[in-house]
Amino acid sequence: MNLDKEQTLFQEGYNLIGGIDEAGRGPLAGPVVAACVVVDKKFVISGPELELVRDSKKLSAKQREKIFTVIKAKAVAVAIGVCDHKIIDEINILQATFLAMKKAIKQMAITPDYILVDGGLSIPRLKLPQEAIKEGDGKIFCIAAASIIAKVSRDYLMAELDQKYPEYKFSQHKGYGTKLHLAKILEYGPCPIHRRSFAPIKDIIIK
């Protein structure tokens, strides 16, 4: 992973580049979490942790946690935005994802002047120049860094929710539709943090 895209934007006159990605669009329970990681012209990829930065799904949990700490220490600014299961059910997962991304930008100590967002869709009604990049978490450093921040932050939130609803084993599957999770839903029924608009939760409720 290199800073080629970020360097191109710096040469075009932008000073603060924000990479945005999310974690938690697919699970049956819990929030969707977006992260924004901002880098400037002085930022360099140095040290073993930053050299490991890539799509969070290609890293182990231990690797992600180590990299998470270094990104927070070395990036110009890092912030997350969270939309819980209620918002997801109310406005749908895509709109909740966009809202979480906007929340992350709003939380920034420094506002980026250009946004690189993972995926094929731009963030609607964003008053900043932006570019949507398909599979950006595998190509662009600041997006990959954001994917790690989002994933670790969401895993932490799911571990907290596991304390509240221990019978569902959220710390193990993080709310995704694994065999274990589906078995627990069948055993105990949906709990308050399950997404009512997602199958099979909505089918169970209808029954």
The pLDDT value given to residue 206: 64
Q: Is 20 within 8 Å of 146 (Cβ atoms)?
A: yes
Q: Which positions of the chain have pLDDT values less than 70?
A: 206-207
* pTM assigned to the model: 0.96
- Is 21 among the annotated ligand-binding positions? yes
Q: What CATH number should be reported for the domain holding residue 50?
A: 3.30.420.10
- Is 118 among the annotated ligand-binding positions? yes
- Is 55 among the annotated ligand-binding positions? no
Overall number of domains in the chain: 1
What digits encode the pLDDT tens for the residues 94-146?
Answer: 999 999 999 999 999 999 999 999 999 999 999 999 999 999 999 999 999 99
Residue 186 is part of which domain span? 4-206
**What is the spatial distance between Cα 167 and Cα 37, in angstroms, rounded to a whole number?**
35
Cα angle value 167/94/35 (rounded, 5°): 75
Nearest alpha-carbon partner for 200 in 189, 4, 129: 189
Q: How many CB atoms lie within 10 A of CB 177?
A: 17
The pLDDT value given to residue 203: 86
**What is the spatial distance between Cα 107 and Cα 67, in angstroms, rounded to a whole number?**
21
Query: Three-state DSSP class for 153?
Result: helix
